[in-house]
């Protein structure tokens, strides 16, 4: 699984979910930042990488997923 995720690094993915709420069409969008735990990682360093990936996703435009 890690090799699949590694191959997808730095690629942009779009997220958009269409639903109905009280007979109205609603679109739910999200920006996501993610990372993998690395050997010897502390939880704080992994969370910092994920946080930075989230900021990169937000700055890349709406509805992005950025994998560090």
Q: What is the pLDDT along the chain (68 residues), one digit of tens a residue?
A: 333 344 455 555 555 677 888 888 887 778 888 999 999 999 999 999 999 999 998 888 777 788 88
Q: Count other C-beta atoms under 10 Å from residue 24's C-beta.
A: 7
Domain locations in the chain as residue ranges: 2-67
């Amino acid at each position: 699984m890690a090799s699949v995720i590694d191959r997808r690094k730095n690629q942009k993915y779009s997220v958009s979910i269409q639903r109905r709420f009280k007979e109205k069409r609603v679109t739910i969008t999200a920006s996501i930042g993610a990372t993998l735990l690395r050997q010897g990682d502390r939880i704080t360093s992994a969370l910092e990488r994920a946080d930075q990936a989230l900021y990169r996703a937000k700055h890349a435009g709406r509805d992005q997923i950025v994998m560090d």
